[in-house]
Structure 1
Amino acid sequence: MLPWIELASAVAPGGDRLRLLRRGEEFSIRLQGGNELMNSRLGGSEEALARLALDRLAGRAAPCVLIGGLGMGFTLRAAQAVAPPGARLVVSEIVPELVAWAGQQMVPVFGTCLSDPRVEIRLGDVGAQIGAAAGAFDAILLDVDNGPGGLTRPDNDGLYGDPGLRAAHRALTPGGVLAVWSAEPDAGFTRRLARCGFEARSHTVRAARGGGGSRHVIWIAVRVGA
């Protein structure tokens, strides 16, 4: 078996060291210590995040979509595949090196997707983007950390608690969609969504394309009320 080769590293806010590795045609981003955050062979559930959300926006000719986290671009590319020509796809990424890797070491994964004129990359915290918006987005897609349970950055809990969900509600247009990826179920999160003005449904999806791999959860939450 081919060995893993480290191509680059970066320090995320909070001090976590991220490592980009390659083995043949396979890429992996891991925390120092070995915990894998993403792998280029997977991505099926991240792609489902975009498809399920944009299905709810059918009929909107120019939706503005905020994607929290670039990662390996699975969610972005799935959104590009189904979004109309007039869409705006805003990607908020807090680690600048991930954007650089997309155009350098990970070109075999990303191709030219970042040159799509519909795509805008904003460096910074997606929570700040959400908090500064009012009725700006038709959909917010959050693939940040491991979902409501968190793992790598305790600050991400602010996205999934009541204040973060109410901020997302304010940032969405009427009938807009908050879509959240999670590594595991969380009944408490479903209740929080309802409490914060969303009609939410959870979907169980598989990590790998074609239906294999771990089971992940996606919430599709539609903004209701004023």
Structure 2
Amino acid sequence: MLASARVPGSLHELHLFRRDRDYSIAVSGVPGELMNSRMHASEDALAELGCAPIAGRRGARVLIGGLGMGFTLASALRVLGPDARVTVAELVPEVVEWNRGELGSCAGYPLRDPRVEVWVGDVGAALRGPASFDAILLDVDNGPEGLTREENGRLYSPTGLRAACRQLTPGGTLAVWSAHPAPAFARKLRQAGFEVQTHGVRERPGAGANHTVWVGVRR
């Protein structure tokens, strides 16, 4: 174990581990790992699927909720153009520092890209005000059925989804990652104003657990 960090507004802690060249993050009191540097294909897919519809827009603005190990951010930067701006909202300050340190090597240190700005705080606070983003990518907690923080459920509530819809420019996309299928969630997205596609993605290419990515396009 390399480091620990308290999750704001929660009794849980995040623990950063390294084994040889592999890294993992676990949540106190929750069996297994929250994420592992060897298994990130679905995080890559979140950015690829969510940014594909707006990749050709000049000056595209993207909000990513949850930094994690930086794989979603790195994938988004590969899809987007050189004039894009990507804001990463991360609740836990230590996770940002881990990514600026040795953990950042896993995804190629995407925080060093000049197109990136980091906002330390709840991504829900960024989903207020007039439309300002072309894509919003949410990899917060464990998806709509959260693990670490009750407040995260507000993001995926009808009110939270409508707020995300209002933050998107016309034709903008909301992409949501989940470790579980949550079949009712697609209906909630449609009710909030999105045209929805559901994608099943493996955590490793052709192997590992099945994760889910929903992509909603603002009507």
* TM-score normalised by length of structure 2: 0.96
Q: Distance in 1 between matches of 2:129 and 2:41?
A: 29
Q: Distance in 1 between matches of 2:153 and 2:109?
A: 33
Q: Distance in 2 between matches of 1:104 and 1:184?
A: 30
Q: Counterpart of 2:87?
A: 90
Residue by residue over 1:53-92, the C-alpha shift from the partner in whole angstroms, topping out at 9 and shown as x without a partner, is 1111133121100000000001000001111001001100
Q: Counterpart of 1:47?
A: 44
Counterpart among 149, 156, 160 of residue 153 in structure 1: 149
Give unpaired runs (5+ residues) of structure 1: 1-5
Counterpart among 201, 204, 209 of residue 214 in structure 1: 209
Contact 2:90 2:120 (8 Å CA) reproduced: yes
Q: Distance in 2 between matches of 1:133 and 1:50?
A: 24
Q: Which moved more, 1:66-75 or 1:186-195?
A: 186-195
Q: How is 1:126-141 mapped onto 2 (pairs within 5 angstroms)?
A: 126-130=123-127, 132-141=128-137
Contact 2:69 2:104 (8 Å CA) reproduced: no
Q: Counterpart of 1:203?
A: 199
> Aligned letter for 1:166?
R
Q: Counterpart of 1:69?
A: 66
Give unpaired runs (5+ residues) of structure 2: none
Counterpart among 174, 189, 193 of residue 189 in structure 2: 193
Displacement of 1:139: 0.4
Equivalent pairs, count: 217
Contact 2:131 2:166 (8 Å CA) reproduced: yes
Q: Distance in 1 between matches of 2:150 and 2:25?
A: 19
Q: Which moved more, 1:53-62 or 1:108-117?
A: 108-117
Q: Distance in 2 between matches of 1:58 and 1:102?
A: 25
RMSD over aligned CA atoms reads 1.1
Q: Which moved more, 1:32-41 or 1:119-128?
A: 32-41
Q: Counterpart of 2:159?
A: 163
> Aligned letter for 2:2?
L
Q: Counterpart of 1:35?
A: 32
* TM-score normalised by length of structure 1: 0.93
Q: What percent identity do the matched residue pairs reach?
A: 53
Q: Distance in 1 between matches of 2:118 and 2:33?
A: 24
Q: Which moved more, 1:134-143 or 1:49-58?
A: 49-58
Q: Counterpart of 1:17?
A: 13
Q: Distance in 1 between matches of 2:164 and 2:197?
A: 17
Residue by residue over 1:146-173, the C-alpha shift from the partner in whole angstroms, topping out at 9 and shown as x without a partner, is 1112222111110111000010011110
Runs of 4+ that moved beyond 4 A: none
Q: Distance in 2 between matches of 1:70 and 1:35?
A: 20
Displacement of 1:218: 0.4
Q: Counterpart of 1:3?
A: none
